[in-house]
Chains A and B, each alone.
Chain A
């Protein structure tokens, strides 16, 4: 392990950051500047590739340059990157093929297409992919993994106006996104097992991990992530649908990057999680199935890109199978095939794109005999397709030979020993068949049939990327040692996690069984294809693979149906039903625990004597509450009973040593009864009797159960002693800590001042909601009403009103000033003043009041909140925490020393908000009919 120097650290971060920065830059670039966009993307990729190569020396020397920036240290997540052999190889593929695709896309995309957006998404994807392969921390890997899913969604859906592109993109995102969630869960388990998310630690803890009881769920979750990403059977169905992407995207995502992320993960975590029977069986069998299914279905595709898509699935299965075999040489072969497949498949996709671009079709039933029209393209495609078929002297042959050799070594696994080699040969034969079809059906097999355009070779620059890759196929195929040997060696060593046994990378290994399998596959495959063409008409065959997509669609449909059903069942739109369900659950939640503990409902405290006054208040209150229920259809009568109930609640507070509460309750009671009377002006005066007797009984039962549960809870609590720790602290600190004798007020404005700030904010917001709801335009209603308190004003109030207001103001100030030490304070003072201000409205009507002073109460709310918040911020300025209180004793003339706690300014804010909010609500509802539009009203007689 070597840690990179300061410059090296920067290098690793820069490799990942450069494409991401370029993506941001490209997004700000207009779509018209095609060449600029291509140059930015190309230069960025080349620069990142150059930076990666600077790390090559250290990696080849056996080091692992790495760097860490703490990110969420408490979660053991770091922005750490590391370059070992595997990361170097993969990052090289990502950047190298990326560079070629950037060049190719410049010529592929039409003039009218948003090319800057394309390159921006492309760079985003490239950065995410680099993050996956270079991540040195598993959590970071998962983050980049998700980013590749999102970026590929955007790329596959690049042609947003096409339904198939949107559907393909959605499907890819759904499948790989679900896999990503599984991977996240698996990685969290893995980190828990290994004790760290650091990749070095995890890779070194293989034995610990395999012996852990959570190994099986962890492995299955991680494999689910890898298999969905790498389109393994039965999750492979999304990949053919992703072919709706522009071809450069397909060439990049489905050869070297996105789908390779899954097999990369298998390789990356190989030392940590492979090496068990479970791994062997699951990975091998899934790989084999994918290999066979993909190869077979590919033969019958008529769409060029469809053929390549299924071929990709098949080759991914091959790689998965190799990692499943779990021998060092199989891992070498797996890594080798990753590189080879990326090379020939990228060039084939690009060739398919050229054919599509120049002829207007990708359908092999139309594309025939193109050899004479586009010979250069044909030549390059033939080289690449031969590599895909595993023809000797090309790179695909080498890794396939190694693959065959490894399948023959399964002597310890009874039935797989036969099944795997036979399946491998069969799949290879199919692979030869579809490769032959790609060559023969497109470039020969008669003349073109009904092509939109007369095909010809594309501009030279479009051929260069294909040519480079085809050349690589040949070079690696003929000179494997000098070209790829060293890189393969360090890459595979990182997968195996130890030194590699001897292996030979040469074209000729003598006459042996793998060679025989290759020859057999070539012969059978070619025969299969030509017999399909001659004996059956391949072009007429309609072979649509059934299964994955249908299940996916059905699953999505049933999910939607289930969601709709659940919504419909739970939410039928009836408030009555919701209320009933809520109350039943509340009664059960409160009552059931007490029920089961019913024997000990009464606690140890002795029964306290009840004064006669309490009996009276309780009787009156209970009677009044029953009156509300009995009379609730006669709304005004019910309101009177409600007021009486509130009065009794207030008396209860007074009786039980809570004068502040008694005052507040009394004032609020007056205000809310007034409010309801005003509102009743626009509501019917009576409620019709519409509930059936059964419904009423049901509701009475629910209400009774809830009432019983609450009563039992109250009784249980009150007969048990309280923990007085907090109460004692508050009482003891009220005077020394906050200079106030009224402990309740001290809590409100000081100890829990922040809480109060929130509450007055809520009050202010509620008042503004009331104003806003009634201020909007309404549909003009027929039979509009006169305003409330219309002509029939209250003569008595009109006369005494002028006297009451100043009196109320004085009382309010008095309440306010003494609040810190005696019952009173901002809430009570605010309510008092509001009620005083309301008297003229009641006595003379709103017109009269507003003619004299245009009272707007919104500013009161605003200034009050500002005042309260400023008090808190003031203590910030003095270096204390928010809302720290202090107190001064200025000597005032005439009055003498007046102790003022700064909390008083806070209380002033409370006072202003409460006054403003109360007045705003009352006057808005009182105004309703006049200046702000007319809602339907019952009639003026109610005023």
Chain B
């Protein structure tokens, strides 16, 4: 499981990073979205992963990580997902405005 997650998160990071290095604003936004997937998953797995240990406290189960997965990274990532949505929106608007003004969506503002 560790290896699979490592490969998955690594691949998301690499694809995101590659797109962030492109010259067009839209590609950069696509790349940042991929990077945010990677980062969110990264933070999430820092609490270690487990199947069928939903962190919803049920009677009769010992309240430790033996029975539940770590809730803290989940809480952090939950807000992070929403914030990265807001970030995407702001970047999109900047891209649209920049395109409207410079007639180009090159990240350096109209450079070739």
Contact = CB atoms under 8 A, between A and B. Distances in A.
Partners in one complex: yes
Interface of A: 573-576, 579-580, 583, 605, 607-611, 614-615, 618, 621-622, 625-626, 628-629, 632-633, 635, 638-639, 642, 645-646, 649, 652-653, 655-661, 664-665, 668, 671-672, 675-676, 679-680, 682-684, 687-688, 690-691, 699-700, 702-704, 706-708, 710-715, 717-719, 721-722, 724, 726-728, 730-732, 734-735, 741-748, 752, 755-756, 759, 762-763, 766-767, 769-770, 773-774, 778-779, 781, 821-823, 827, 831, 914, 917-918, 921, 924-925, 928, 935-936
Contact of B17 (A614, A688, A702, A914): A702
B66 to A, nearest CB: 9
Given A675-B85, A718-B2, 14 more contacts: A583-B17, A642-B30, A656-B50, A658-B69, A675-B88, A682-B100, A690-B23, A710-B42, A727-B64, A728-B64, A734-B71, A743-B68, A925-B93, A935-B99
A608 B2 contact: yes
Contacts of B63: 728, 731-732, 734-735
Contacts of B65: 722, 724, 727-728, 731
15 contacts: A580-B21, A628-B19, A646-B37, A652-B41, A656-B49, A657-B54, A683-B95, A702-B17, A711-B7, A711-B13, A747-B71, A747-B75, A752-B75, A779-B100, A936-B99
Given A652-B41, A691-B22, A731 B89 contact: no
A821 B58 CA distance: 10
Interface in B26-66: 26-30, 33-34, 37-38, 40-42, 44-58, 63-65
A663 B99 CA distance: 34
Contact of A717 (B17, B46, B92): B46
A249 to B, nearest CB: 50
Contacts of A921: 86, 89
Contacts of A687: 22-24, 26-27
Given A625-B15, A747-B75, A718 B26 contact: no
A655 to B, nearest CB: 7
A742 B55 contact: yes
B75 A759 contact: no
Contacts of A628: 15, 19, 30, 34
B27 A622 contact: no
Contacts of B33: 642, 646, 672
A658 B77 CA distance: 10
B45 A706 contact: no
A607 B6 CA distance: 13
A710 B4 contact: no
Nearest to B86: A766
Contact of A629 (B15, B47, B85, B100): B15
A748 B1 contact: no
Contact of A665 (B8, B57, B81): B81
Contacts of A575: 28, 107-108
A393 B46 CA distance: 87
Contacts, number: 336
B71 A744 contact: yes
Given A638-B30, A683-B99, A823 B56 contact: yes
Contact of B44 (A609, A633, A653): A653
Contacts of A680: 26
A676 B13 CA distance: 20
Interface in B65-112: 65, 68-72, 74-75, 77-79, 81-90, 92-97, 99-101, 103, 105, 107-108, 111-112
Given A707-B17, A730-B72, A657 B34 contact: no
Contacts of A610: 1, 4
A668 B40 CA distance: 13
Which of B6, B7, B95: most chain A Cβ within 10 A?
A: B6
A722 B48 contact: yes
A779 B101 CA distance: 7
Nearest to B107: A575
A690 B104 CA distance: 13
Which of B58, B75, B84, B88: most chain A Cβ within 10 A?
A: B75
A610 B44 CA distance: 18
Contacts of A717: 45-46
B45 to A, nearest CB: 6
Contacts of A657: 49-55, 68-69
Nearest to A574: B108
Given A657-B55, A823-B56, A576 B6 contact: no
A745 to B, nearest CB: 8
A774 B97 contact: yes
A763 B48 contact: no
Contacts of A724: 64-65, 70
Shortest beta-carbon contacts, A-B, top 6: A711-B10, A707-B14, A935-B100, A766-B86, A718-B2, A743-B71
A728 B47 CA distance: 12
B18 to A, nearest CB: 4
B82 A675 contact: no
B49 A718 contact: yes
A841 to B, nearest CB: 16
B15 A759 contact: no
Nearest to A622: B11
A296 to B, nearest CB: 59
A656 B87 CA distance: 26
A935 B92 CA distance: 14
Nearest to A601: B6
A603 to B, nearest CB: 9
Given A676-B92, A710-B38, A661 B81 contact: yes
Contacts of A756: 79
Contact of B10 (A710, A746, A924): A710
A770 B89 contact: yes
A785 to B, nearest CB: 11
Nearest to A658: B74
Nearest to A732: B63
Contacts of A767: 86, 89
Given A573-B108, A691-B22, A706 B37 contact: no
A773 B99 CA distance: 13
A731 B54 contact: no
Nearest to B18: A703
Contacts of B86: 762-763, 766-767, 917, 921
A680 B92 CA distance: 9
B56 to A, nearest CB: 5
Contacts of A707: 10-11, 13-15, 17
B23 to A, nearest CB: 6
B4 to A, nearest CB: 5
A650 B70 CA distance: 18
A645 to B, nearest CB: 7
A655 B53 CA distance: 10
Nearest to B69: A657
B97 A935 contact: yes
Contacts of A573: 108
Contacts of A642: 30, 33-34
A238 B17 CA distance: 53
A679 B95 contact: yes
A152 to B, nearest CB: 45
Contacts of B58: 741
B96 A679 contact: yes
Given A576-B107, A629-B19, A752-B75, A718 B6 contact: yes
Contacts of B56: 659, 741-743, 821-823
Nearest to B3: A715
A726 B72 contact: yes
Contacts of A743: 55-57, 68, 71
A827 B79 contact: yes
A650 to B, nearest CB: 10
A653 B75 CA distance: 12
Contact of B74 (A618, A660, A684, A831): A660
Nearest to A769: B90
Contacts of B21: 576, 579-580, 583, 699, 702-703
A631 to B, nearest CB: 10
